[in-house]
Amino acid sequence: MNGMKIIKNQPLMIGFILLYVLPPLGMAWLAALGVMEWTDMIKKRRSLPRDSISILFMLMALASVGAALINFQIIYLLSTLMILAYMGVYLYYLHHHEFLQIRQYVWITIFGGGYLYLSDKLFHFFSSHSLLGQGVSLMTGHLLLGFTKHNRLYGSAYNPNYACYLLILALAFLLVELLRAIRRKNYKMGAFCLALLPIIGLAIYDTGSRAGFIIMLLLQLLFLAKLDKRLFFAVAGVIALLSPFIFKFMPRSDNTSSSLGDRMSIWKNSIRIFFEQPLFGTTPVGFSSQYFKLTGHTVSHAHDLFLSIFDSSGVVVGLFFIAIMLFSGYSLFQCLRSDKKNRYSVNLFLFSLPTIIAYGIMDFTLSSPQVLLIVLALVAYWIRYTSQMRVFTNFRGFHRKFTTIRYSGGQIDQKEQKREAGLIRSLPDHSQGPYASEKERF
């Protein structure tokens, strides 16, 4: 009975923990929640949300259907089902945020990063050469996919680059928690965060990702900028002076040129594929076969976030995605300026959201369902946060207007009175929002 109660009350927490410990089971768990969300929406005839991410998913689904019809490839419709499955999970995140508060999500991600490091060391003691060993490796995420070398950390993420991005996300959250602890003078929490920092940092280095190493340095500089501007400029100056030594210390720095050459070749071929099918793209399922037809080599994706979107879903979806990125950047800047009371939430998004783009420049880690399901939760929190901020901004503007008219002796007509009442009723309940309690504010 207790187990059923936990499952009922904490479905998202269970799903996220499983994503790190038993990734296939975690993916299946969250996919089931997405199916439940679609079923509930259809039964209750609820309309689809009009937020930008929901529209992006719908455009991607339509593009995959268009690609299947134009190319006479029924198999491309698998991409449609996959996109709708992801959208179902995203909608579940959006509509059931009460099952996982943002700080719970943050600490699962942080401990998940620690688990990636420790599990990688543990799994190496077990053989995966037997059929049983391979089955265990598949279920635990320690089956290396896309690589032949075993000298890079990947833990339970199947791939060093996927593991690195999850670790980068854990580092971003950990730095925000450390910043919060310092400002609140919570020395125990600060010491705990400081103890975790070298573990996460060493894990990022052991993945062998050059992009991850650079982003790790940038996140630490951002932390110093938020903590103390003078310390930031001092450390930034030292890093600039020692940049040649830092480059040599960077993982796999000896083959940076050849690796960049390979990546440039993939990008050029990906651009050629886009111009061959610019309207609907090739779908995520069809990209690999199209790349093989063009080059005779097998590549699963374009190794760049933006190129992957354009290649898989076409120009309309690609431009809409860029518009989302630009608008989100502007919204984040506005939140930094206006939301002075909820610095915890703002800092979380400031540290974490840009890493999606930064890592996406050199790779497309969102091709991993495990990574994408974790990132979609962050995006859902962001969408809810910005919608709440817009409501409060509109309310404050109307309230100023209302106060000015009232104290100047003017009259308020019935329409404006109803509008004010509607705005007040629409204000969200922050007890279940991204910043759930006063304890999460600093």
Average pLDDT (18-24) is: 96
- Chain segment 193-243, per-residue pLDDT in tens: 999 999 999 999 999 999 999 999 999 999 999 999 999 999 999 999 998
Three-state SS annotation for the chain: CHHHHHHHHCHHHHHHHHHHHCHHHHHHHHHHHHHHHHHHHHHCCCCCCCCHHHHHHHHHHHHHHHHHHHHCCHHHHHHHHHHHHHHHHHHHHHHCHHHCCHHHHHHHHHHHHHHHHHHHHHHCCCCCCCHHHHHHHHHHCCCCCCCCCCCCCCCCCCCHHHHHHHHHHHHHHHHHHHHHHHHCCCHHHHHHHHHHHHHHHHHHHHCCCHHHHHHHHHHHHHHHHHHCHHHHHHHHHHHHHCHHHHHHHCCCHHHHHHHHHHHHHHHHHHHHHHHHCCCCCCHHHHHHHHHHHHHCCCCCCCCCHHHHHHHHHHHHHHHHHHHHHHHHHHHHHHHHHHCCCCHHHHHHHHHHHHHHHHHHCCCCHHHCHHHHHHHHHHHHHHHHHHHHHHHHHHHHHHHHHHHHHHHCCCCCCHHHHHHHHHHHHHCCCHHHCCCCCHHHCC
Residue 179, pLDDT above cutoff 50: yes
pLDDT attached to residue 441: 39
pLDDT attached to residue 265: 92
- Chain segment 301-335, per-residue pLDDT in tens: 899 999 999 999 999 999 999 999 999 999 998 88
pLDDT attached to residue 338: 77
Residue 439, pLDDT above cutoff 70: no
Residue 264: CA count within 13 A, CB half-sphere: 6
Q: Is the pTM of this model over 0.85?
A: yes
Q: What confidence tier does 127 reach under pLDDT thresholds 50, 70, 90?
A: low
Residue 161, pLDDT above cutoff 60: yes
- Maximum CA pair distance of the chain? 85
CB 368 within 8 A of CB 159: yes
pLDDT attached to residue 399: 46
